Amino acid sequence: MYTNQHTLKHKYEFSGKGLHTGLKVNMKIEPAPANFGIKFKRADLGESAPLVEACVDFVSATSRGTTLDKDGVQVLTLEHLMGALYAMHIDNALITLDAPEVPILDGSAKYYAEAFSKDGLQVQNAPRKYLVLDRKVICRNEFGSEMVVYPDDHFSVDVMIDFNSKVVGNQYARFEKETDFASEIAPCRTFVFFHELEPLFKNNLIKGGDLDNALVIVEKAVPQEELDRLAGIFNVKTLERVPEGYLSHTQLRFSNELARHKLLDVLGDFSLVGYPIKGKVIAYKSGHSINSSVARELRTLALRQFKRGLNLSR
């Protein structure tokens, strides 16, 4: 259990494109002082633009990613980066972007985790303040998603997914204090079903999506001419469906990579509570919508505990 806050030892720079906007973006992640928290700066909007706190209070959209919006300043698709910061116990950092969206990179948190792990962290002279639950939190939504957070001495997450898919099947993943996030969770990539691609394009999403930053699941046989058309959209020579039901451009990094990626999303969205959590999370068919709903309730509980003067760092 970490008793003190941590920040980064060095500044890191990443460049890429936004998954949904398709815009090229340069991002800097820098150390920050104790009690600063995680904040985003939009350099492209000038010095007068407000910093955007990584806080669930500012979540404005949860469709295919989590969006923050403070006074009209938006930050899109931050969940993979935030998942890495949260899982690796980084409390304070300033993140500067020159476009609205965090770069998608390879669709995972792999490169963040590798960089932070290599250099280690800087211990700060300020205590970490934990949200210590005194009751369970339950949430269900109209999409069939369910999430329960139980009081516990440590933080853990159990994720179960079921897309009614013969290809994916039912998958399970777990994160606990013994889990090596950098090697077991961070490399797991985002995914999409083949039949979802056209609607997403038509809804002005995944402009930056390509076959290097997402797994594409093909549930049924698709005519080769349709695959050829998709290959043209993604600017690759050829595509074919492999027997396992994924497009031939990639191989799974884990047999349950999809569940592990959903777990990464939970970590990223729960980081927006603003405090590390002592609690056991059980999630079924989780997504950004229910993640954010539960994160809001957890933040409310944390603020109430602070108001009552309870020691959340115990």
* 3, 313 Cβ separation under 8 angstroms: yes
Q: What is the pLDDT of residues 157-216, one digit of tens each?
A: 999 999 989 999 999 999 999 999 999 999 999 998 887 876 766 666 566 666 778 888
The per-residue pLDDT for 249 is: 64
Catalytic residues: 288
In this prediction, residues 298-307 reach a mean pLDDT of 91
Q: With cut-offs at 50, 70 and 90, classify the pLDDT of residue 125.
A: very high
**Hey, what domains does the chain have and what are their CATH numbers?**
4-133+258-307 (3.30.230.20)
- pLDDT, averaged across the chain: 91
In this prediction, residues 20-26 reach a mean pLDDT of 93
In this prediction, residues 116-131 reach a mean pLDDT of 96
* 151, 279 Cβ separation under 8 angstroms: yes
| Three-state secondary structure call for residue 314 | coil
The per-residue pLDDT for 35 is: 97
The per-residue pLDDT for 198 is: 67
Q: With cut-offs at 50, 70 and 90, classify the pLDDT of residue 154.
A: very high
Q: What percent of the chain has pLDDT over 90?
A: 74
| CA 212 to each of CA 55, 243, 276, 289: distance values in angstroms, whole numbers, following the listed order | 30, 20, 32, 26
Q: What percent of the chain has pLDDT over 70?
A: 92
The per-residue pLDDT for 247 is: 81
In this prediction, residues 287-293 reach a mean pLDDT of 97
Q: What is the pLDDT of residues 34-81, one digit of tens each?
A: 999 999 999 999 999 999 999 999 999 998 899 999 999 999 999 999
Q: With cut-offs at 50, 70 and 90, classify the pLDDT of residue 313.
A: very low
**Sign of the Cα pseudo-torsion (265, 263, 144, 195, in order):** positive
Q: With cut-offs at 50, 70 and 90, classify the pLDDT of residue 20.
A: confident
pTM for the model = 0.93
Answer whether residue 310 shows pLDDT above 70.
no
Burial class (CB in 10 A: 0-12, 13-18, 19+), 291: buried
The per-residue pLDDT for 314 is: 38
Answer whether residue 242 shows pLDDT above 60.
yes
d(Cα 289, Cα 146) in Å, to the nearest integer? 11
The per-residue pLDDT for 224 is: 82
